[in-house]
Amino acid sequence: MDSDVILIIGFLVSIATGAAIVYNSITQNKSFKANIILNLTDSFSSQEMNDAMKSLKDSVQQVLSGDTKAFPQSITVFDQKRRLITHHFFKIFLLRKNNVIDNKILKNITQEEDIQLLINYIEPLETAINKNNNREMFDMYRNLLDRDFYS
């Protein structure tokens, strides 16, 4: 075989190998992001999360209206619900902050009414628990609402 032909074949093989590596990398990245989305939506769609969000919101509204008897059966249960919700949104915040997910994914895995619950109910509770609480997570979500992210 002519040496020029061998060089051309080698060059074409190198290009094909490079393309296969790039394609594999893109496929793995999409798979990685798909797993993140599925895990977050599974946790958010769980009955436990649904109950926690509804119960926490109802309890806070009743207490704010003056109905202290409506406060949840135990502070421990109430706090577990608050922590479940906070940690869910904190996971999403960390993924966004570290550019693992972009705004398109963020918009698909969060809803405006849930962000409002976080800002209007969870943030005041977190602040009451710890006055020096890092507000960066809440600021990110508040910014989404301020710029009509969900419109």
Query: What angle do the packed helices 75-97 and 3-45 form, to 10 degrees?
Result: 160
Does pTM surpass 0.95?
Answer: no
Closest CA to 114 of 137, 135, 145, 136: 145
Q: Give the list of residues 6+ apart from residue 140 with CB closer than 8 angstroms, or none.
A: 93, 96, 97
Write out pLDDT tens, residues 39-51. 877 787 888 888 8
pLDDT digits (tens, 9 = 90+) for 105-133: 888 888 899 999 999 989 988 888 888 88
Q: Where are the domains of the chain?
A: 1-45, 47-151
SS3 of 65, please?
A: coil
